[in-house]
Structure 1
Amino acid sequence: MADHGTVASDVKSEFPPEKTSFEFNEKGNLSDTNVSLQEEEVENSPIEAVRLAVPLHDDPTLPVVTFRFWFISFLFAALGSTIQQYYFFRSTSGSYSIFFVNLVSYTMGKFLAKVLPTAKFSLFGHNFSLNPGPFNIKEHALIGIAVATGSNAAYAIDILSATDIFLGFRVNALGSLLMIITTQSCGYGMAGMLRKYLVYPAEMVWWGNLVQVVFYNTLHKTDDFSRIRMVRGWSRLKFFWVVVGGMFLYQFLPQWLAPILLYFDWLCWINPFNQNFWAFFSSVSGSGIFSFSFDWTSIGGSAMYLPLAAQLCSYGGAILSYWIIFPFLWLNNVLGMKTIGVPMTSRLFYDNGTRFSINQFLTSDYSVNETMYEAGPPANMAPMYALGFMYSFIALSGYIWTNWKRALSSTEVDVHTKMMRVYPEVPQLWYAIFYVIMAVAACLVCEFYGTQLPWWGLLLALFMGWALTLPIGVMNAITGYGPGLNVITELVCGYILPGKPIANMVFKCYGYMAMYQCNQLMSDLKLGHYMKIPPRAMFVGQFWGTLVGAFFNYITMILIIDSQRAALDNSKPDPNGLWTGQRVQTYWGSGLIYGALGPARMFALDGKYWFVYIGFLVGFLAPVLLWLLSKKFPKISWSKINISIIAGGMGAFPNGYSMGLTTSLITVVIFQYYIATYHKNWWKKYVFLLSAALDTGAAFTGLVIFLFLGAGISSKLQVVVPPWWGNYYVPGEENTPNMPYRSVDRCGAAGDKWQSGTL
């Protein structure tokens, strides 16, 4: 990988190596003159945010796939996949921040560059060195990409855990690893074959990458970034660390000391024991109308830079659904919403509001005993959960065909794609062969490891991923938003393979993950473009991360299930309350509902929830209506109204926890409207670096709390904050006279004992 070739002639003429960087004036803004030593202006991206964040320079001689890359990426991918899998079975949640990885790997890379020997070695005719020179920005970025690829709890773990815990059989190591790797890698092959449409065009921005580019360039003090001065004349790096430190300290308030700031449901306080107030204004269990959250993780740095129109569509959809539709349904007890008593939940209930359990209707092979089920009352969904299916259908069908057309007609090649022509490309054939191998391996897994899913069902799942990845990828790349395929895959399999819950889980996993993983890897390919990482190095780095992550996901799963089985299958409660099988139970329950009970029964045309299918019609007709309106009123920007994003916002909180909506919307208006419009230079100079610093600081706080204060590793490492007005009741003392509230939001009677507002 050391020989990257020479610069192609067409690239040389546009980007002479010594003249491919911008000049900045004394205020740190892009200078209007002296952009290039040539007479003509250097070509740049048509997207303003990309012009601001991504430098126009490259050094093709920098080594990328080095010993330091292999060592550091393995270490952090193994650690990340283990930690994320560990979180998967814990009652406490946490995250493995890529900002943490980037900061620590930067320090480690610098250290290894100082201590490793520089002598050259020969292996299979190739010369290499453990220390080929200073730790560079491309090497660093590829480490981050490999770690991000591998540091997750693979979706296939849900299937393997559910069959092990609830059915009592364990897929062997080979079958398990093949399932994990194939579910993660099928999307990888798709990403390579679709890069022409979703990576190369300039309008395919993949917004989250811009923050990463600024982050890397700030740490490595590249020329374009080192010349910019921030407030008080600080360097960008100093500004970054000051903001990180401030956010790190602040986040201890909402995350640990005063969680009331996390759920600041001030309207609940007016009448805290009124059931209607609880349903409307609680952001924990209700719709969170005008609720605030002062926790930065509930807002997120993306609110500062994602396209304004897309964010307003998303938040507008959420307001329509949860602040307008929800109160109407609740007050009128539509479909028994108030009888159920739980405003937003994915559980099933009988007509009288008691909880439904499917286990009593299952046969020995986990299919439904039709006679027994039909003899009793039917199961019902909470209305907001049923509407969530309708919204997902709107999101899927809305703009699908428009995005297909947009993707296939995107011909404006990104300037950074032109710069990447200096490197040998990965042939499409490589990706095609890789995809076929993974698909065949997936078929073998389905046929030989008791998944209930035949090979043709697996191919149908992969076909669904293929058919919908391109339009969904366009939305993700351009707007930062996009629907998922988890619901539609469950429904399709429920119709074609009724009564087979395991098959439903596997079908959902392959169909959904093919699209999801493809989008994630596509985003990484765009980051590689922005960072000028050779494509073949990207190929190696991404698959390397996948392999490492799969192995440590599996090992961690086995160790935890073997040591904590009683707590995970609820046969014996964990005395410390740290281990839970809730996430596995949710996935398994979904497989039972849609695989065993079946969508044909739940969404029958003569049943209560027939309306969910209207979503398809609305999704197809809405773009036509907007097109007609654009012809009638051409001065209005109808194209900025995205039905799919609106529908996604309408179904954003199916299980509650609707905190942060008001605060996020205020943040969007401040940064993406007011500052971006009236203080443009400030926005250009600060927004991406500020976003990265705030997210980094918040991530570090969460990690410290989890490890050292919240019993994340051991129950001995737990520091309990004494009860005070900033937190809530101690667990087990809900009914004490001085602590009567349901939760930290100060809304809702303990033990469902209401003073007013009852049925």
Structure 2
Amino acid sequence: MIDQNYIELQQYPESNDNIHEDDFIINDEDEDDDKNNSLSLTKTQLSLILHRLGYIDLHDLDLNNIQNLPKSAQYMINIINTMSIDTAIEIIRNTLADHIEDVNFPRDEYNLLEKLLHTTSTSKQLTKIEIEDESRIFHNEKSYLNLVDWDLQIRLEAALVHYHSPYPEVRAITEPYDDPTILCETFRAYFIGFAWTFIGSIINTCFVHRIPNISLSSHTVQVLLLPCGKLWAQYIPNKRLKFFRYIIDLNPGPWTYKELMLSTIIYSCSAGVPYSMYNIFVMKLDKFYGLKWVTITFQIFLSVSTQFLGFSFAMVMKKVCVYPSTSIWPSILPTIALNKALMDEEDNSHSMTRFRFFSYVAIFSFLYNWMPSYFFKALANFNWTTWFAPSSIHLVNITGSSKGLGLNPWPTFDWNRIDAGGCLTLPFYSYVNRYIGSILGFLVIVIVYYTNNNYSSYFPINSNYLFNNKAEVYDVHSILNDKNQFDNDKYQQIGPPYFSAANLVIYGAHFCLYPFSILYNFATEWNSMKSSFVSVWISLTDAFKSNSNQFGRYSEDPHCKMMSKYKEVPDWWFITILVVSTSFAIATVTFYDVETPLWGIFLVIFVNFIFLIPLTSIASVTGFSFGLNVLIELIVGYLIPNSGLALITLKAFGYNIDSQASNYITDQKLAHYTHLPPKAVFKGQIISTLINIFVALIITNWLLDSNIPNLCEQNQKYNLECPGANTYFYSSIQYGEIGPAKVFKLYPVFKWCFLLGAILVVPCALFKKYGPRKFTTSFQPTIIMGGFLDFAPYNLSYFTGGLYMSYLFMYKLKTNYLNLWERYNYILSSGLTVGVAFSSLVIFFINLPSLHWWGNTVSYQGIEGGKLSDIWRNVTSSPDGYIGLRKGEFP
């Protein structure tokens, strides 16, 4: 039998003010339900609430002393206690209407809300006095789906979706209340964040051209920020310094959760190398264009303008991808989870705290990663299927991890490869859709290759290189003159470059994806898209109004309510960045010989603006994103023919504007979830981006001027083979110097891919609307089409292992053990990633001697190791000793 002692809770305001100990009164006697506007809860009912909130180890909680409960639990209990039934019913009804097609809203919880709303008046009489067996409530983690106390449960579920979040993954890592007095925008938070930005920019820029690259990830630095802040708080003197009219408090107190989050966001801006560094490499290095006029002033103009133009776009996207609760941004959730694990001081109510779990996982990952990375490399590249016949071209083509398409039931034991697709971050439906696309892409590549479509059987099946008509890597310098400009006479002697089968499919998929993504989103999400464009228009008009509601129709969202305490970034700050960065862009194309007309800048800005809403909307809900680089290559190649410089210049703007806008928006969402002042985030990002630019420029020019032997060549001594710069250069030749007109004459199927993408919208949209709800809810054809892009040089071996992990953790564990998943899933992901990052850096920098034994060589036998040719058909058997179009027929 349950304990009939009641816990009476005083009226608590529906605000996010601080919680005080005297908000709660414990009474062992029954009280009238209406007395003092309070409701009486039994200990069993209180246990039910705590169980639903994710507190698994209820025996560790003192239910007789509510003041000892975690503050988030105290806050939610008060919300539930003070909510009326009518309010709860209205919340549930609105939630069901808003999330009917929401794939991220758990269907079992949606069904529970329907059951609560449609319960008959007779069954509503099921109350606390009729519950005689607590095992009915707590027999498993999904027992909250059973209707045992309608009066309590309808208020409980309404409170969760309206005062916290509709999504369990968000509830797992955020708090339903905010304390604005917690230190955030401090001198030490900025200083530590900028210091790691400086260090990270050096390391990341040095090794971005390496295969495999080494980087100091945000998660790695996030762990390092904690001891830095703690040591600062312990040893730096508590003094105040005056700097002009500003007072700098050197040590204001203990290092806080918000300071750690702010420093993490500051560093995240420098976690990637500025995209313009590829331009500088390709323009200056003799292997590529070898231009001597690429001065540091030009590099600053180009880098600043490409990095900051996207920031100004973020001004109009807050109401589209930051304020709405449906924009969960799955990719950022592990960052918040790690922050919570590192700083959660209320985590002692569980036998295994988040920080202890993270520590165990990170240590295990650090130690284990030495096996696939150094001692037993076959565990990383576990291409066991090719070991039986390493010289079989067909076996390697299908199952090879290095040279093939990677069809392997278990291809790796290396977390770095397993998590290539974000298996513990992206929703399960998103990962499955993308993997389905990868399988379809695999089948299409095999068909293209083995039917010798466009001579693809004479080239490696899964290569991102360009080839000449003798099946050799295309020497782009052979069709350029002394000024590195396209020479048609030489081109007519050499012939056009050819694609591998995988490259053919990838480019075809790109050409399908662009029209499909736009038209499909408008066809299936018309109301959402229309609302997004309205929000953008409102944001633009509000920029010129002194008083406007910054959150608009999202002002009732709990996180928006909490953020209303902080001043939003003034729109004129964004406008200033837009004006300055556009001026730098104009200077770049006006004063330097990049062969780019002024209208090209405004063209790529317009193209990015058109795609901004669909791209960010898809990424904010599913975690899937794609760039506009190929589309920009086509547009520029047609409008500015025979100019590789114009192509890579506008490509830098065309790709990076939306990319940087997305980066800033995700950081805004991070601040939104963790309740940081927007102005602090803005200032931190701007300064951090400037530091990143100037450090990257210094390191890039040092690499170019240091005469590193064979830089960007295959088998370079330090593995500085520059995969990104090589692809950048080849694309500038293919679509810039030669031009897409010639490419489309050689591959006329590419033209039809645009039409195919538009036509596919019709059946996909019809299926989405009229198909079985069981399948249509999770059906995401845009992501499926994106799976075609996961080849050349990648393959299925980078995503198969992640599929198993996604099924286990993002589906089975989340479905059956939601509380456990909410507590530990993102911590597991962060711990594994941090361990791998630290051990990889240690292994690289201590420069250990190579271990030559079977476990390190077996994966690189025969074709997979480059010891035998990875080409099936011999070009020498072709007429005249070459393949493709005959001389005189070249486009």
Fold shared by both chains (TM-score > 0.5): yes
1:719 has 2:857 as partner: no
User: Map of 1:82-481 to 2, 5 A cutoff?
Assistant: 82-91=202-211, 93-166=213-286, 167-223=290-346, 226-229=347-350, 233-291=351-409, 292-300=411-419, 302-322=422-442, 324-340=443-459, 342-403=460-521, 405=526, 406-409=528-531, 412=554, 414-481=557-624
> CA shift at 1:376, angstroms?
4.9
Residue 17 of structure 2 contacts residue 178 of structure 2 at CA under 8 Å; is this kept in 1? no
1:711 matched to which residue of 2?
none
CA separation of 1:381/1:258 partners in 2, compared to 1, >3 Å: closer, same or farther? same
More displaced 10-residue stretch of structure 1: 378-387 or 102-111: 378-387
- Please give the alpha-carbon distance, in whole angstroms, between the structure 2 residues aligned to 1:186 and 1:179: 11
Query: CA offsets, 1:439-486, max 9 Å, x none?
Result: 121111121122221221111112211111211001111000022111
CA separation of 1:617/1:17 partners in 2, compared to 1, >3 Å: closer, same or farther? farther
- Please give the alpha-carbon distance, in whole angstroms, between the structure 2 residues aligned to 1:423 and 1:129: 21
Query: CA offsets, 1:284-333, max 9 Å, x none?
Result: 111111251111011228312422221111000001111x2233233322
Secondary structure of 1:127's aligned partner:
strand
1:602 has 2:731 as partner: no
Secondary structure of 1:17's aligned partner:
coil
Secondary structure of 2:241's aligned partner:
strand
> CA shift at 1:593, angstroms?
1.6
More displaced 10-residue stretch of structure 1: 501-510 or 161-170: 161-170
2:808 matched to which residue of 1?
670
CA separation of 1:131/1:156 partners in 2, compared to 1, >3 Å: closer, same or farther? same
Unaligned runs of 5+ in 1: 1-10, 709-716, 731-738
Secondary structure of 1:348's aligned partner:
coil
Residue 236 of structure 2 contacts residue 250 of structure 2 at CA under 8 Å; is this kept in 1? yes
Aligned residue pairs: how many?
Answer: 716
The higher relative CO (CA closer than 8 Å, separation ≥ 6) is in 1
- Please give the alpha-carbon distance, in whole angstroms, between the structure 2 residues aligned to 1:25 and 1:485: 41
- Please give the alpha-carbon distance, in whole angstroms, between the structure 1 residues aligned to 2:722 and 2:761: 42
> CA shift at 1:740, angstroms?
5.0
Query: CA offsets, 1:692-716, max 9 Å, x none?
Result: 11221122222212222xxxxxxxx
More displaced 10-residue stretch of structure 1: 594-603 or 167-176: 167-176
Residue 347 of structure 1 contacts residue 381 of structure 1 at CA under 8 Å; is this kept in 2? yes
User: Map of 1:355-754 to 2, 5 A cutoff?
Assistant: 355-403=473-521, 405=526, 406-409=528-531, 412=554, 414-564=557-707, 566-568=709-711, 576-581=717-722, 583-604=724-745, 607=746, 609-708=747-846, 717-721=847-851, 723-728=852-857, 741-743=862-864, 750=868
2:78 matched to which residue of 1?
37
Residue 173 of structure 2 contacts residue 340 of structure 2 at CA under 8 Å; is this kept in 1? no
Secondary structure of 1:121's aligned partner:
strand
- Please give the alpha-carbon distance, in whole angstroms, between the structure 2 residues aligned to 1:586 and 1:630: 37
- Please give the alpha-carbon distance, in whole angstroms, between the structure 2 residues aligned to 1:547 and 1:12: 44
> CA shift at 1:636, angstroms?
4.3
1:81 matched to which residue of 2?
201
Secondary structure of 1:380's aligned partner:
coil
- Please give the alpha-carbon distance, in whole angstroms, between the structure 1 residues aligned to 2:247 and 2:817: 53
Secondary structure of 2:382's aligned partner:
coil
> CA shift at 1:148, angstroms?
1.3
Residue 594 of structure 2 contacts residue 649 of structure 2 at CA under 8 Å; is this kept in 1? yes
Unaligned runs of 5+ in 2: 1-11, 25-48, 59-69, 84-154, 533-552, 878-891
> CA shift at 1:280, angstroms?
0.6
> CA shift at 1:525, angstroms?
0.7
- Please give the alpha-carbon distance, in whole angstroms, between the structure 2 residues aligned to 1:268 and 1:533: 52
CA separation of 1:632/1:352 partners in 2, compared to 1, >3 Å: closer, same or farther? same
Residue 54 of structure 2 contacts residue 823 of structure 2 at CA under 8 Å; is this kept in 1? no
> CA shift at 1:170, angstroms?
4.3
- Please give the alpha-carbon distance, in whole angstroms, between the structure 2 residues aligned to 1:651 and 1:669: 22
- Please give the alpha-carbon distance, in whole angstroms, between the structure 2 residues aligned to 1:445 and 1:575: 33
1:27 has 2:56 as partner: yes
Find the partner of 2:177 among 36, 57, 73: 57
Residue 187 of structure 1 contacts residue 514 of structure 1 at CA under 8 Å; is this kept in 2? yes
TM-score, length of structure 2 as denominator length? 0.76
> CA shift at 1:368, angstroms?
1.8
> CA shift at 1:563, angstroms?
0.9
Let me know the Cα RMSD of the aligned residues: 2.9
- Please give the alpha-carbon distance, in whole angstroms, between the structure 2 residues aligned to 1:678 and 1:137: 31
1:17 matched to which residue of 2?
18
- Please give the alpha-carbon distance, in whole angstroms, between the structure 1 residues aligned to 2:853 and 2:712: 35
> CA shift at 1:421, angstroms?
0.4
> CA shift at 1:33, angstroms?
9.2
Q: Which amino acid aligns with 2:240?
A: K
Residue 204 of structure 2 contacts residue 273 of structure 2 at CA under 8 Å; is this kept in 1? yes
- Please give the alpha-carbon distance, in whole angstroms, between the structure 2 residues aligned to 1:586 and 1:305: 28
Secondary structure of 1:466's aligned partner:
helix
1:46 matched to which residue of 2?
166
Query: CA offsets, 1:245-289, max 9 Å, x none?
Result: 111111111122111111212322343321110111101111111
CA separation of 1:567/1:740 partners in 2, compared to 1, >3 Å: closer, same or farther? closer
Secondary structure of 1:57's aligned partner:
coil
Residue 193 of structure 1 contacts residue 432 of structure 1 at CA under 8 Å; is this kept in 2? no
More displaced 10-residue stretch of structure 1: 432-441 or 610-619: 610-619
Q: Which amino acid aligns with 2:690?
A: L
Q: Once the two structures are aligned, what percentage of the paired residues are identical?
A: 26
2:137 matched to which residue of 1?
none
Q: Which amino acid aligns with 1:394?
A: C
CA separation of 1:347/1:700 partners in 2, compared to 1, >3 Å: closer, same or farther? same
Residue 458 of structure 2 contacts residue 873 of structure 2 at CA under 8 Å; is this kept in 1? no
2:550 matched to which residue of 1?
none
Q: Which amino acid aligns with 1:585?
A: N
Q: Which amino acid aligns with 1:519?
A: S
> CA shift at 1:402, angstroms?
4.9
Q: Which has the larger radius of gyration?
A: 2
Residue 497 of structure 2 contacts residue 734 of structure 2 at CA under 8 Å; is this kept in 1? no
TM-score, length of structure 1 as denominator length? 0.88
- Please give the alpha-carbon distance, in whole angstroms, between the structure 2 residues aligned to 1:351 and 1:569: 24
Q: Which amino acid aligns with 1:409?
A: S
Q: Which amino acid aligns with 2:856?
A: N
Residue 334 of structure 2 contacts residue 829 of structure 2 at CA under 8 Å; is this kept in 1? yes
> CA shift at 1:597, angstroms?
0.6
> CA shift at 1:338, angstroms?
1.8
2:152 matched to which residue of 1?
none
CA separation of 1:33/1:80 partners in 2, compared to 1, >3 Å: closer, same or farther? closer
Query: CA offsets, 1:396-437, max 9 Å, x none?
Result: 222324546424426556421221000011122321221122
1:67 has 2:205 as partner: no
Query: CA offsets, 1:524-559, max 9 Å, x none?
Result: 110011111101001101101101101100111122
